[in-house]
Structure 1
């Protein structure tokens, strides 16, 4: 049987359902986005980790210039916990558009890198091929089609029948399949044939998987540290193996040339004997010349064959596979957003909830005084309001946590399914949920504890009397007599009331400003991430493509190819080298050092904030921020070959994509004691179609002595993909921010009306029309809304800047941009919410019982 106190609590909930639901909604929204966005990043990582684990993705990939044998498998498995496999692999061209294809030999019993069949079946016969699922989606291939390879692929046959489509754990992102040294240099998709069809004498790829690493998440630092240690152990094991492999091949080559060498040696001996017997005739001299030529040819052939025995290993881990780094960057970016945006969102929700609970308890002064007069203990009275706050807080927190943990990460992952094939695994964020529940209870129960304790300290007689109203004070505007005289009576009342109830004023401003800031931040995230490429290639870089040359100072062939196309508009010759920059005990890798051949021409291709002068170095802002250096400081640049030079920083220049440093040719010569060799062309082109770009890249590879061509449009596409991957998160943040703003404004207006019901009833009794009574309150809301929106503009910009600073990656710095539609939508939403609340308030005030309201103490 319920006690009178419990009955009273349920009556209070029934009588003020709107307020109880509003508290639940505010807490629910706060915890939903706090837990949901926090779970999105880990959800992506766990889903991908589960996917690659299910398909047994290798931890390490090893390529060799001389191939692999069973002995190499044994060498790899000397490392503790290693499981190794060898397979045949090479890059070839084929298909409708001579696409670059990553071609593998299919092994039905492979324990690593297992294919996931999407349709059809695996290639069991010699004339069958399985293609990448992306080849079906993007290039229109179908099961039963005939697929034809280029002659240069050197396969057993050129034409195969497509029997299936599959996904591979090696390729987790449909938008990127890596680069190659054939065709146009960009891999379009992968394919699998029977191993013999690749026509390779030995395996060309060795993969290693460690059982001990499979319990670690691929994208965590613990995994990276562990796999790096394993790579170090593998390199140590393969060091003598490289020498042994080279010796074996050299011996084999020598044996293959022995018969020819013996024949030549015998012919030389016979010729010598003939010279002794018959003298050195013209015929014998001619035969000697022929033998010498044959010997020279044989020696050259032996040297060329010996050069091919030089064994060089190329090591890769998972982060070197196409798409892995960008996927990790995206999940880290979401995690960075989750560290700021939801916290700010939740703090606003908690602050408003705290205010609402405080007002609710203060309104119950008469009840508290009555219960106290009836002899109830302080704990019994307090428990009534603490239970109310606890119930509202728990319902909102639990519902928000469950809905957030289940829905938001799955929405994000489902969006990724369009471009990344992966399973869905969402971790239960127990720690985050506990934190959200704790903060929710602090905002609800904590507020109730503070206010109830304060109220219970008073005597019952004092509690049953209404609290003495705040005395009106002259405000600053009243001292401005010319202005104050021009204001109407209603305007004067509104301004006085605003400053009379300062706490309510600031709560409304904070609520409006916070909502505006959150909505602006959502739009700004989309604008900033999406504009990164246009800022880079519009304001800083003014070229369309980068062509890497195969040989230093040999740009003639590439220039002939470029000048032969109608789209060519010019090129700048530069020396570009990658290295590391060190300063203040920190290090930044993958820094591109650019040295132009002609500085005046270079200005047309790259805009720097400061001109290149003297022997110093102009660095991009990423280097400056990461290494904490500025103009005048010194940094160490270490080339890929290990050469270290100390350089003075002359200026810091803006840059958004990649990490760059610039110096003059004279500065380079002074620092490195060698002239900078031209190895890269920065090329300006008219707009080209994707097919035209691929054709140009192919021509540069085949006839221009180029290693590869990188187009700005590809970078822009990558950024657009990155931006679109954030769309779901951004949309959710905008929608929930809007809902929170509306609930906050509605709740604070209700508090305002309930506190001033006698005042409003008095105004109504005095003969004010319904619209005038509504405007009596709404005018204050309009002023606070305007002020809150303006304040929200600044807060939104600051919040966006902070989030983007946290979300930067090793290669990308995001510009802070909020385009005008963001401001317009945020403003219109706030105005719309204010108008809706005004309409609801108007309906409520029309039906106020003035007599009952005025009878209240």
Structure 2
């Protein structure tokens, strides 16, 4: 009988306080939705990419020789235990229709690795058939059309288009890599039957290892095992580059000796420098566009480890307060039940069930909605990637943590409050709590100001400081909501500011052109004839790996110059500590900030530099320079010679061009330069577009942060105001009995809320800056630093939203206060 009565009382209590119950469920739901939903984005992105790479059997490592591979090289690769090997041929060409740069890849029905994924039509079945990149459809190509290439390296130039494909070698539809023809950028790729290639050697060898099959490419196990496989591959090809160089020299000697020509020493030196063989080994992450995807997933994961946690803590704190106050308000009912003979465990069960229902419903709704919506929103924004799978992975760890937080915020809160109330005797519980004594506040000591305040204002300020716990809960709630909204805007502004700071402040050249010194005269003629060209400076540049101890940073751009004074016009070198201008010296190099942080290097330390040809040397770091995107090592020609032992020789030029140069004009100039001997032209604008695009991919997440933070802020304000009114119902009824009008009663409460809102917003600004900076540190990658930038609009919108929510809550409060039954509220509890 008791159980039935208690159960009936529970449902009556839920119905009577349905507004509070809904508010608690919403707060828990929002916290769980944010926490679990954002936590699911990273794993979903990982799974989608991993699924494609496994399905299309992507090579774990790809080895490339500058002079091509022979069958002997294939045997070396196949000698590695557990390795699946596939050799491919590739070339760059221009299409006949609009002279776009095409990367032609060899295709065979026996291909096992990096298989193209069919989007429409069918794969080549005959020598005269070709399949194009799905991006080529944007150029107007259709299945059944005749397609022509401008190249003499194929047995035929004309093909019939039979299908469109995507490839795991090119995951970003807006980045297809570099080329040494046309404008220097690959527009799209094509697969052509391998029998059409005239090349007698292979271009690349792809290798897939058995010991990596069961690992996700994003896992630590994959990375660790891949390093061992990389060493095995290097060991198998150790010395092979030298052998290949000598083979080619011997072949050339024999050719000339039939012709009756004897080569001089200088001719032999020149020949060795030309047919010279070097090789490179790349992994999946180093393919075009892949590093951007990896960095994006890492960035989202890093953000997901901080922002949702803080969001959930704010939600949990408010829920904890709500549940505690609910029990305190019900002291009369608890006293009555105890007086009627109910055991305290029976009384506690009702409240604990109330908390449990709220926690379960809120968590369940948050998990389902968060997992099914937030990852999908993010995926829809990443349309530039070829991944089509939309796996919905329920993150077990995130769900477990969210459930624990929800449980702590509700169940434990009720338990703590009950322990205090249930210890009291029924007679004590049946009496109202003794109100706090009035006391002088700090503001009263400023007599001149205090005298000019109205009676209502004085009462409001005294009430604020009289109930400090209530005051701080409202301030914390408002500050938390404001901070979360501001952080959302801060993340958007700061991530976008990385490229602005880099390319608007540090990098002051518009392009870098790779070219040999021998062809410089013709290139200079092209530049001087171009009206958009301003100036150029020669540099020696290459991609290196820098290390200190066991820590290393790959993909670092080493840039040496013989003109230290003029380089200042192209690159702004400033100290990362004092912002003072730096100068290249003969006794050290300048290392950029992110690489220095990664290596834990300061000025005066020594680092090791390793080139792509495995040449290693040690250098002293003379200074650390500011930089936001990429890692750089800067040195002068004297330091270059001292470190490497080689004679300094420029292999590139930094170009200063007009800022009004359009994309079409950039392409035209690049074509002209490459046609006259330049190997490649890379525009800074292209790099900036890539970085800006990657930053914009985070916009949906930031938008989600802002919307959910605003919703949480509103629910928190509404909930805390309701608690405030219910706790002060006798006080408010009293002032109504004393003759206060409804508008005055509302202002009596609203005046306090206005003060607390202003204080909460100001504290939220400070907290938002700290939270944004902390997240940016976690979200930074090995090559990117995000400056803390929050535009005034973020501050304004965060404050305006909070003020609007306060006004809306005040309006709701007004209508609620007009319905107060003064007689019932003033009834005595004795």
2:615 is aligned to 642
| Whole-angstrom CA distance in 2 between matches of 1:370 and 1:709 | 84
TM-score by length of 1: 0.90
2:14 is aligned to 13
Tell me if structure 2 keeps the 8 A contact 1:596–1:664: yes
Q: Name the SS for the 2:781 alignment partner.
A: coil
Task: Evaluate the alpha carbon distance shift between residue 486 and residue 817 of structure 1 in structure 2; reply closer, same or farther with a 3 A threshold.
Answer: same
Task: State the 1:148 CA deviation.
Answer: 2.5
Task: State the 1:362 CA deviation.
Answer: 0.4
1:546-595 per-position Cα deviation (integer Å, ceiling 9, x unaligned): 1223349x744433222121111222333435434445764333333434
Greater shift after overlay, 309-318 or 41-50? 309-318
Tell me if structure 2 keeps the 8 A contact 1:529–1:722: no
Task: State the 1:689 CA deviation.
Answer: 2.1
| Whole-angstrom CA distance in 2 between matches of 1:237 and 1:61 | 14
Where do residues 531-542 of structure 1 align in structure 2 (5 Å cutoff)? 531-542=497-508
| Whole-angstrom CA distance in 2 between matches of 1:10 and 1:212 | 58
1:438-478 per-position Cα deviation (integer Å, ceiling 9, x unaligned): 11101111111111001111111101111111111111001
2:708 is aligned to 736
Task: Evaluate the alpha carbon distance shift between residue 307 and residue 509 of structure 1 in structure 2; reply closer, same or farther with a 3 A threshold.
Answer: closer
Q: Is it true that 1:692 corresponds to 2:665 in the alignment?
A: yes
| Whole-angstrom CA distance in 2 between matches of 1:508 and 1:420 | 47
1:231-270 per-position Cα deviation (integer Å, ceiling 9, x unaligned): 3223333447768877887888788788x46xxxxxxxxx
Task: Evaluate the alpha carbon distance shift between residue 72 and residue 109 of structure 1 in structure 2; reply closer, same or farther with a 3 A threshold.
Answer: same
2:147 is aligned to 147
| Whole-angstrom CA distance in 2 between matches of 1:429 and 1:747 | 30
Tell me if structure 1 keeps the 8 A contact 2:92–2:181: yes
Where do residues 459-498 of structure 1 align in structure 2 (5 Å cutoff)? 459-498=425-464
Q: Is it true that 1:375 corresponds to 2:365 in the alignment?
A: no
Tell me if structure 2 keeps the 8 A contact 1:47–1:426: no
1:732-751 per-position Cα deviation (integer Å, ceiling 9, x unaligned): 11110010000000000000
Task: Evaluate the alpha carbon distance shift between residue 242 and residue 502 of structure 1 in structure 2; reply closer, same or farther with a 3 A threshold.
Answer: same
Q: 1:349 aligns with which of 315, 319, 323?
A: 315
Tell me if structure 2 keeps the 8 A contact 1:612–1:664: no
Q: Number of residue pairs matched?
A: 818
Gapped regions of structure 2 (runs ≥ 5)? 575-580
Task: State the 1:70 CA deviation.
Answer: 5.4
Task: State the 1:630 CA deviation.
Answer: 3.6
Q: Is it true that 1:855 corresponds to 2:820 in the alignment?
A: no
Q: Is it true that 1:656 corresponds to 2:628 in the alignment?
A: yes
| Whole-angstrom CA distance in 1 between matches of 2:466 and 2:348 | 30
1:323-360 per-position Cα deviation (integer Å, ceiling 9, x unaligned): 11111110000000011100100000000000000000
1:485-506 per-position Cα deviation (integer Å, ceiling 9, x unaligned): 1111111111111111111211
Greater shift after overlay, 446-455 or 185-194? 185-194
Tell me if structure 1 keeps the 8 A contact 2:174–2:384: no
Tell me if structure 2 keeps the 8 A contact 1:104–1:193: yes
Task: Evaluate the alpha carbon distance shift between residue 241 and residue 587 of structure 1 in structure 2; reply closer, same or farther with a 3 A threshold.
Answer: closer
| Whole-angstrom CA distance in 1 between matches of 2:496 and 2:747 | 43
Q: 2:527 aligns with which of 562, 585, 590?
A: 562
| Whole-angstrom CA distance in 2 between matches of 1:311 and 1:676 | 21
Q: Name the SS for the 1:83 alignment partner.
A: strand
Task: State the 1:95 CA deviation.
Answer: 4.5
Tell me if structure 1 keeps the 8 A contact 2:584–2:634: no
1:589-612 per-position Cα deviation (integer Å, ceiling 9, x unaligned): 333343443344322222222231
2:32 is aligned to 31
Tell me if structure 1 keeps the 8 A contact 2:211–2:225: no
Q: 1:549 aligns with which of 508, 512, 515?
A: 515
Task: Evaluate the alpha carbon distance shift between residue 299 and residue 715 of structure 1 in structure 2; reply closer, same or farther with a 3 A threshold.
Answer: closer
Q: 1:805 aligns with which of 777, 786, 806?
A: 777
2:230 is aligned to 231
Q: Is it true that 1:571 corresponds to 2:544 in the alignment?
A: no
Tell me if structure 2 keeps the 8 A contact 1:42–1:426: no
Task: Evaluate the alpha carbon distance shift between residue 591 and residue 825 of structure 1 in structure 2; reply closer, same or farther with a 3 A threshold.
Answer: same
Tell me if structure 2 keeps the 8 A contact 1:579–1:637: no
Task: Evaluate the alpha carbon distance shift between residue 348 and residue 217 of structure 1 in structure 2; reply closer, same or farther with a 3 A threshold.
Answer: same
Q: Name the SS for the 1:603 alignment partner.
A: helix
Q: Is it true that 1:211 corresponds to 2:182 in the alignment?
A: no
2:578 is aligned to none
TM-score by length of 2: 0.93
1:264 is aligned to none
1:616-636 per-position Cα deviation (integer Å, ceiling 9, x unaligned): 4443221332233444x3232
2:803 is aligned to 831
Tell me if structure 2 keeps the 8 A contact 1:612–1:663: no
Tell me if structure 2 keeps the 8 A contact 1:591–1:660: yes
Q: Is it true that 1:426 corresponds to 2:398 in the alignment?
A: no
Q: 1:786 aligns with which of 758, 762, 775?
A: 758
1:121 is aligned to 122
Where do residues 235-250 of structure 1 align in structure 2 (5 Å cutoff)? 235-239=234-238
Task: Evaluate the alpha carbon distance shift between residue 226 and residue 672 of structure 1 in structure 2; reply closer, same or farther with a 3 A threshold.
Answer: closer
Tell me if structure 2 keeps the 8 A contact 1:581–1:635: no
Greater shift after overlay, 75-84 or 720-729? 75-84
| Whole-angstrom CA distance in 2 between matches of 1:47 and 1:734 | 26
1:275-326 per-position Cα deviation (integer Å, ceiling 9, x unaligned): xxxxxxxxxxxxxxxxxxx434899999999998766443222112111111
Where do residues 615-634 of structure 1 align in structure 2 (5 Å cutoff)? 615-631=587-603, 633-634=604-605
Task: State the 1:666 CA deviation.
Answer: 5.1
Q: Name the SS for the 1:572 alignment partner.
A: strand
| Whole-angstrom CA distance in 1 between matches of 2:654 and 2:255 | 47
| Whole-angstrom CA distance in 1 between matches of 2:766 and 2:485 | 12
| Whole-angstrom CA distance in 2 between matches of 1:599 and 1:65 | 32
Q: Name the SS for the 2:87 alignment partner.
A: strand
| Whole-angstrom CA distance in 1 between matches of 2:615 and 2:68 | 28
Superposition misfits of 4+ residues, deviation over 6 angstroms: 240-258, 297-310
1:685-732 per-position Cα deviation (integer Å, ceiling 9, x unaligned): 1122222212222222231x4332221111111112112211111111
| Whole-angstrom CA distance in 2 between matches of 1:708 and 1:251 | 31
Tell me if structure 2 keeps the 8 A contact 1:543–1:684: yes
Task: Evaluate the alpha carbon distance shift between residue 25 and residue 78 of structure 1 in structure 2; reply closer, same or farther with a 3 A threshold.
Answer: same
Task: State the 1:415 CA deviation.
Answer: 2.5
2:134 is aligned to 133
Q: Is it true that 1:701 corresponds to 2:649 in the alignment?
A: no
Q: Is it true that 1:84 corresponds to 2:85 in the alignment?
A: yes
Q: Is it true that 1:436 corresponds to 2:399 in the alignment?
A: no
1:770 is aligned to 742
| Whole-angstrom CA distance in 2 between matches of 1:662 and 1:237 | 34
Q: Name the SS for the 1:470 alignment partner.
A: coil
Q: Is it true that 1:715 corresponds to 2:687 in the alignment?
A: yes
Tell me if structure 1 keeps the 8 A contact 2:629–2:784: yes
| Whole-angstrom CA distance in 1 between matches of 2:819 and 2:39 | 45
Task: State the 1:123 CA deviation.
Answer: 2.5
Tell me if structure 1 keeps the 8 A contact 2:588–2:619: no
| Whole-angstrom CA distance in 1 between matches of 2:380 and 2:210 | 30
Task: State the 1:648 CA deviation.
Answer: 4.3
Task: State the 1:787 CA deviation.
Answer: 1.1
Task: State the 1:127 CA deviation.
Answer: 3.0
1:754 is aligned to 726
Gapped regions of structure 1 (runs ≥ 5)? 262-293
Larger Rg: 1
2:287 is aligned to 321
1:177 is aligned to 176
Q: Name the SS for the 2:700 alignment partner.
A: helix
| Whole-angstrom CA distance in 2 between matches of 1:116 and 1:616 | 50
